Amino acid sequence: MTEGYCVEIVEVRGKTGVYGEIYQVLCKVLEGPDTGHVIMRNVKGPVKKGMFIILLDTEREAKEIQAKR
């Protein structure tokens, strides 16, 4: 089994994806080499502020959603 890193969702920034099924969130890393860092990630599924999720890695970071012109 692959180990992951526990993170807490600090803020839900918005929805993305073709059907709006992906949420862009700010996560605070609670364990691992990046403990204490706040990173932006894309998460599939219903999420809200204060939830804890497991990420397989904490090195990748999502780009911020750009508004359509």
Q: Which domains does the chain have, with CATH numbers?
A: 5-55 (2.40.50.140)
Give CA–CA dist 11/7, Å, rounded.
12
pLDDT (0 to 100) of residue 20: 87
When pLDDT is cut at 50, 70 and 90, the band that residue 66 belongs to is confident
pLDDT at 1 over 60: no
Residue 41: closest CA among 68, 7, 4: 7
Q: What is the pLDDT of residues 7-57, one digit of tens each?
A: 999 999 999 888 889 999 999 999 988 999 999 999 999 999 999 999 999
For residue 18, what is the DSSP state?
A: T
| Torsion from C-alpha of 58, 42, 6, 35, nearest 10 degrees | 40
pLDDT (0 to 100) of residue 67: 72
- C-alpha 44, offset from chain centre: 9
